[in-house]
Amino acid sequence: MNTYPQIILKPGKESPVLRFHPWIFSGAIQKTIGKPAEGDIVECYSSDGKYLATGHCMPGSLAVKLFAFGQQEINKKFWFSKLKQAWQVRKAIGLTDSTQTTAYRLVHNEGDSLPGLIVDIYGSLAVIQAHTTGMHDIRMLLAEGIVTVSEGKITSVYDKSAEAMSKMTQRIVTNSFLIGDAEECEVLENGHRFRINAVTGQKTGFFLDQRENRELLAKHSNGKNVLNMFGYTGGFSVYAAAAGAKIVHTVDSSAPAIALAEENMKLNGYKAAKYACFVADARKYMETMESGKYDLIVLDPPAYAKNVASRNQALKGYRTINALALSKIKSGGILFTFSCSQVVERQTFTSAVTAAAVDAGRQVRIIRHLSQPPDHPVNLFHQEGEYLKGLVLLVD
């Protein structure tokens, strides 16, 4: 068996690890035996020498991200079995064999006990996003593992870690195909068609986390004038049009996203002017739009808070856009409003929306609390993993 560098914790600091919390902070460490570099595998021990867990060494105050709580050799067999477990979870919830939904998340970070790794599936293409040096270093092995566990379904793997790696680590890496070369593809989500470009698209190409919320929007869309604000490539818009919305307007500040939104609307048969897509800034668009024009609005902004330091600024941002939507929405209208900032907790987001309702001077009722779908599982011991929060609001 390989021997790994050892991290010895201070007395009493083992209890979060014994509860399977997947992170170790540098303040909990008494000493390190060996000289682990960023990305190396390390084993963690209690101060009295008991093995606790194994993980990847990190450079900053978050010193280790843990992926195993039983002592074992970390080899190809180990990683393949982790990927197999993730595959089985998606199989059990009907995603791997679905003929109606061919895009889903296969690996969700701590939610799949693979901290630092995201894998999204688009038909026969898997897109890997590593957030740690440890995961990025083994990307080729992971790519082979994904193909191996996929029952012949995955034939291409693209590594799209560059953006995440430059934000989360000091490493500059380039994106590339690890296996195959299926750059563009068309997927189905609940029977709706979407074109995905993994290479040029934002994140891994599509926002898979809104799948179930899009279905819910469809239930409210018949006969409605819908504004899909921060619409990206038109996910919510296609569902609303399919459900019989009178008007569906998609707005996003990204011209390539809007071009793809238009394409996706057409691909599903929605070509008329009532399905128009606009390149515009959210705030400017809502400031100048006519009051009462829309009776169903989706607000799904990018993560306003990237870290704790930017949380207050983010809350102001949420308040501003929600106040605009709430003040302009038709009486009796419904607002789907979201935050995907990990550091903004659900209650804090609800408070920002409450402040917005006060600003708008509207009576508002919550009819649903929304989150992310089951292919984005949340580790109970790392609840920050529940990053997507949403409210469905009835505006009197």
Site residues for ligand SAH, window 121-160 (CB under 6 A)? none
For residues 62 and 279, which CB has a smaller minimum distance to ligand SAH in the complex? Answer: 279
Binding status of residue 189 toward ligand SAH by CB under 6 A: no
Handedness of CA 15, 19, 20, 21 (dihedral sign): negative
Among the residues of 230-281, which ranges form H helices?
Answer: 235-242, 255-267
Q: Smallest distance from the beta carbon of 224 to ligand SAH, in angstroms?
A: 17
Per-position DSSP letters for 113-137, written without gaps between them: T-TTEEEEEETTEEEEEE-SHHHHH
Tokens of 357: 């309702």
**Using CB under 6 A, which of the segments 59-67, 80-88, 219-227, 294-302 binds ligand SAH?**
294-302
Q: What is the CA radius of gyration of the chain?
A: 22
C-beta pairs of 114-117 under 8 Å, 24+ apart in sequence? 114/67, 114/82, 114/86, 115/22, 115/23, 115/55, 115/56, 115/65, 115/66, 115/67, 116/56, 116/65, 117/142
For residues 87 and 230, which CB has a smaller minimum distance to ligand SAH in the complex? Answer: 230
Q: Smallest distance from the beta carbon of 191 to ligand SAH, in angstroms?
A: 16
Q: Smallest distance from the beta carbon of 227 to ligand SAH, in angstroms?
A: 12
H-run or E-run covering 213: helix 211-221
For residues 2 and 288, which CB has a smaller minimum distance to ligand SAH in the complex? Answer: 288
- Interface with ligand SAH (CB under 6 A), residue total 18
**Using CB under 6 A, which of the segments 69-77, 180-188, 217-225, 298-306 binds ligand SAH?**
298-306
Binding status of residue 300 toward ligand SAH by CB under 6 A: yes
Q: In what order do the strands lie in the sheet with 103-108?
A: 103-108, 117-122, 125-130, 156-159, 176-179
Q: Smallest distance from the beta carbon of 244 to ligand SAH, in angstroms?
A: 19
Residue 7's contacts (CB-CB under 8 Å, 6 or more residues apart) are 24, 29, 32, 36, 42, 43, 44, 45, 63, 64
Site residues for ligand SAH, window 197-256 (CB under 6 A)? 202, 207, 210, 230-233, 235-236, 252-254
For residues 233 and 339, which CB has a smaller minimum distance to ligand SAH in the complex? Answer: 233
Q: Smallest distance from the beta carbon of 207 to ligand SAH, in angstroms?
A: 4
Q: Smallest distance from the beta carbon of 113 to ligand SAH, in angstroms?
A: 27
Please report, as ranges, the residues that interact with ligand SAH according to CB under 6 A: 202, 207, 210, 230-233, 235-236, 252-254, 257, 281-282, 300-302
